[in-house]
Amino acid sequence: MQGYNCIIVYNQDRSKLLFCKRRKDPYKGLYNLVGGKIEPKEEGFPAAYRELEEETGIRKDQITLYHMMDFTYYNQDCYVEVYAGILSFNIELKEEANPLIWLENTEDFFALNKFAGEGNIGHMVEQVKQFGLGKAYATFVDGE
């Protein structure tokens, strides 16, 4: 089963979220969260930090990621690990394959004509708003 990660990145004051605008299918022309493939035998947190740096230039020392939730798609033989974090300070982004843009946190992230993921982005953002960021890496390492 192929693993992917999806990363919700907030700016320092949590007023904006980072998105990429897809240049190819799936979801060509729509806004998507950053993320990518988890390599075979790669652990979740290292994969999320690797993809985040590859796609945006954001390094591990600039953000703390929290593991929020996972989705398993048996009909597509894949799973998605969802992470969230708040930038420690403003940085200059470095685009990889897709243009990056900060969008206001007041957007309708459920808008299917604007955002990828069949409403999942809206669901994930609402989860952060209502229940917080998730569990930090140290929590998983310590076994709590």
The per-residue pLDDT for range 11-39, each reduced to its tens digit, is 999 999 999 999 999 999 999 999 999 99
Residue pointed to by tokens 């004051």: 13
pTM of the entire structure?
Answer: 0.92
- Tokens for 14? 């949590």
Q: What is the residue type of 84?
A: A
The b-or-e profile of 46-80 (16+ CB within 10 A means b, else e) is ebbbbbbbebbebeeebbbbbbbbeeeeeeeeebb
Q: For 52-79, what is each residue's pLDDT tens digit? A: 999 999 999 999 999 999 999 999 999 9
Pull the structure tokens for residue 119.
């409403």
